[in-house]
Amino acid sequence: MATLTYIYSDSMAVVGPLAAFAEPHSYDLCEEHAVRLTVPRGWEVVRHVGEFPSPLPYADDLEALADAVREAAKVEVRPVEPGEDQPNSVGRRGHLRVVPPSV
Protein backbone atom coordinates (compact mmCIF):
# COMPACT_ATOMS: atom_id res chain seq x y z
CA MET A 1 0.00 0.00 0.00
CA ALA A 2 1.07 3.58 -0.68
CA THR A 3 -0.28 7.10 -0.25
CA LEU A 4 -0.64 9.54 -3.14
CA THR A 5 -0.58 13.22 -2.19
CA TYR A 6 -1.30 16.02 -4.65
CA ILE A 7 0.42 19.38 -4.17
CA TYR A 8 -1.60 21.57 -6.51
CA SER A 9 0.43 24.76 -5.97
CA ASP A 10 3.59 22.99 -7.20
CA SER A 11 1.88 20.81 -9.86
CA MET A 12 3.33 17.78 -8.13
CA ALA A 13 2.17 14.32 -7.05
CA VAL A 14 4.06 12.45 -4.34
CA VAL A 15 3.76 8.66 -4.00
CA GLY A 16 5.19 7.37 -0.75
CA PRO A 17 4.67 4.91 2.09
CA LEU A 18 1.16 4.52 3.48
CA ALA A 19 0.27 7.49 5.68
CA ALA A 20 -0.65 6.92 9.32
CA PHE A 21 -3.68 9.27 9.08
CA ALA A 22 -5.82 10.94 6.41
CA GLU A 23 -4.87 14.32 4.98
CA PRO A 24 -6.64 16.50 2.41
CA HIS A 25 -5.57 15.74 -1.17
CA SER A 26 -4.19 12.31 -0.13
CA TYR A 27 -5.38 8.94 -1.38
CA ASP A 28 -4.33 5.42 -0.49
CA LEU A 29 -3.31 3.18 -3.40
CA CYS A 30 -2.38 -0.46 -3.80
CA GLU A 31 1.27 -1.01 -4.75
CA GLU A 32 0.39 -1.86 -8.38
CA HIS A 33 -1.40 1.47 -8.91
CA ALA A 34 1.27 3.38 -6.99
CA VAL A 35 3.92 2.10 -9.40
CA ARG A 36 1.83 2.70 -12.58
CA LEU A 37 0.49 6.17 -11.66
CA THR A 38 0.77 8.88 -14.30
CA VAL A 39 0.25 12.61 -13.80
CA PRO A 40 -1.14 15.37 -16.04
CA ARG A 41 1.14 16.98 -18.59
CA GLY A 42 3.28 19.66 -16.95
CA TRP A 43 3.13 17.95 -13.54
CA GLU A 44 5.99 16.21 -11.76
CA VAL A 45 5.71 12.93 -9.87
CA VAL A 46 8.00 12.08 -6.96
CA ARG A 47 8.09 8.38 -6.08
CA HIS A 48 9.36 6.52 -3.06
CA VAL A 49 12.14 4.14 -4.14
CA GLY A 50 11.81 0.56 -2.90
CA GLU A 51 9.01 -1.34 -1.20
CA PHE A 52 6.11 0.38 0.51
CA PRO A 53 6.38 -0.70 4.17
CA SER A 54 3.51 -0.51 6.63
CA PRO A 55 3.44 2.81 8.49
CA LEU A 56 4.88 3.00 11.98
CA PRO A 57 2.94 5.11 14.45
CA TYR A 58 4.88 8.33 15.00
CA ALA A 59 7.72 7.35 12.68
CA ASP A 60 9.26 10.75 13.30
CA ASP A 61 9.02 13.53 15.84
CA LEU A 62 7.37 15.91 13.36
CA GLU A 63 4.29 13.65 13.12
CA ALA A 64 4.06 13.45 16.90
CA LEU A 65 4.33 17.23 17.14
CA ALA A 66 1.63 17.74 14.48
CA ASP A 67 -0.74 15.39 16.33
CA ALA A 68 -0.06 17.19 19.62
CA VAL A 69 -0.89 20.55 17.99
CA ARG A 70 -4.12 19.14 16.50
CA GLU A 71 -5.14 17.81 19.92
CA ALA A 72 -4.39 21.14 21.61
CA ALA A 73 -6.45 22.99 18.98
CA LYS A 74 -9.64 21.16 19.91
CA VAL A 75 -12.00 23.65 21.52
CA GLU A 76 -14.46 22.97 24.31
CA VAL A 77 -17.67 24.96 23.96
CA ARG A 78 -19.18 26.13 27.25
CA PRO A 79 -22.92 26.77 27.19
CA VAL A 80 -24.06 30.23 28.28
CA GLU A 81 -25.54 30.13 31.79
CA PRO A 82 -29.02 31.61 32.38
CA GLY A 83 -28.76 35.33 33.18
CA GLU A 84 -25.30 35.57 31.60
CA ASP A 85 -24.93 38.21 28.87
CA GLN A 86 -24.86 36.83 25.33
CA PRO A 87 -21.83 38.02 23.38
CA ASN A 88 -22.53 39.96 20.16
CA SER A 89 -21.01 37.19 18.08
CA VAL A 90 -22.53 34.48 15.94
CA GLY A 91 -19.68 32.03 16.35
CA ARG A 92 -16.64 31.48 18.54
CA ARG A 93 -13.58 29.26 18.31
CA GLY A 94 -10.82 29.64 20.85
CA HIS A 95 -9.89 33.29 21.14
CA LEU A 96 -11.45 34.17 17.74
CA ARG A 97 -15.06 35.09 17.09
CA VAL A 98 -17.26 36.02 14.15
CA VAL A 99 -19.11 39.29 14.65
CA PRO A 100 -22.35 39.80 12.72
CA PRO A 101 -22.35 42.70 10.26
CA SER A 102 -23.95 45.91 11.53
CA VAL A 103 -27.31 46.72 10.06
Classify residue 82: in a domain, yes or no: no
Can you give the pLDDT at residue 41? Answer: 93
Can you give the pLDDT at residue 12? Answer: 92
Dump pLDDT digits (tens) for 68-87: 777 777 766 666 666 665 55
Dump pLDDT digits (tens) for 17-31: 888 777 888 899 887
Can you give the pLDDT at residue 77? Answer: 61
In this structure, the dihedral spanned by the alpha carbons of residues 54, 60, 62 and 68, taken in order and rounded to 10 degrees, is 80
Classify residue 32: in a domain, yes or no: yes
Classify residue 98: in a domain, yes or no: no
Question: Could you list the residue range(s) of the whole structural domain that residue 33 is in?
Answer: 1-51
Classify residue 70: in a domain, yes or no: no
Helices and strands per DSSP (H, E), number in the chain: 2, 6
Look at the chain and report how many structural domains it folds into: 1
